[in-house]
Structure 1
Amino acid sequence: MVSFFLCLTCVFSLRPLEISAKKPVPFLRQVVSVKKKVQRDPRFDNLSGEYNPEVFEKTYSFLNTLKKREKEIVRKQLKKSRNAEQQEKLQQLLKRMTQQEEAEKQRQRQREKELALKRDQREQAQQGRKPFYLKKSAKRKLELAEKYKELKGSGKLESFLSKKRKRNAIKDKRRLPFRKDT
């Protein structure tokens, strides 16, 4: 009875077959193939569709309300907290949330500008005129001019220019050849 039980355990144990590494592999060796799981990244996969920012904004617009609610909760917690370390963490979190909000607004403004340009080009094409496409450098100049107007309106132009001058001065110092005074 005991030997029968041992024999059954030998039969039902599905361990891999051990083969010596010193002997050459047989020509017609049977290998059990295991199907490999194919991982796919939805960002680059055609099955997920193409990214359209307008559709994305409409679909996930509810997230903006959730973010605003979370921001209010963080503000309330910041007012209530007495621990200095926790206050600092909450301030950093609040700052990051406002920066993300500003960045999103900036992206939205940029998208609206691009859409307006495309609309103008479409109208020109419908009227029979040849559409005029701006170069990247011209777009950059227009964005910079708009940024200066915005900074001038908010009164932060002078501080922005002074910081820019300092940065450029540091870059120029680095480019100068190093001279030892002997």
Structure 2
Amino acid sequence: MTKYAALLRGINVGGSKKLPMAELRQLMEGLGHDGVRTYLQSGQAVFATGRGDEDSLAEELAKAVEARFGFTVDVIVRDHAYLRAVADSCPFPAAELEARQLHVTYFSAPVTADRFAGIDPAAHLPEAFRLGDRALYLYAPEGLGRSRLAEALSRPRVGKGLIATTRNWNTVLKLVELTAGGE
């Protein structure tokens, strides 16, 4: 069995797309997943399964949420090895930063630097970003809510079929921890 994290985008934010975590766990167990746990209220669940791949598991969960709760939600599923690689490949000195200063945007597919070519990194210093494999690392010393760079990075249209969802560094590390073992 492989352990995965499901990242649901935009649930339980600002009073919209309410999805109680206990009901999400029940839904995922009903799909045949084992060891389902949720983390926080903002759309992270970990589970184990011996079937499917990341894309098919994400699609299955998105369809199940829509059928049960009546709204669409974007879902990205990543296995432990990928989550670990993202954490290990951080280009910023994560151990020296506060968690609110470092974020990872997970993409459902690879993105190239061309997508962000219109952004002048020097205009946003000391904020900075780096691209990884299906991930973007953002250093925002004043936090995400005050980041002009985060706003600029969100402007390039994600594109049809491409999903992006951002997590702070504490959540990145917690998902690595929660998906460890059993592989």
Scaled by the length of structure 2, what TM-score is found?
0.19
* RCO comparison, higher one (Cα < 8 Å, 6+): 2
Query: TM (normalized to structure 1)?
Result: 0.19
More strand per residue: 1 or 2? 2
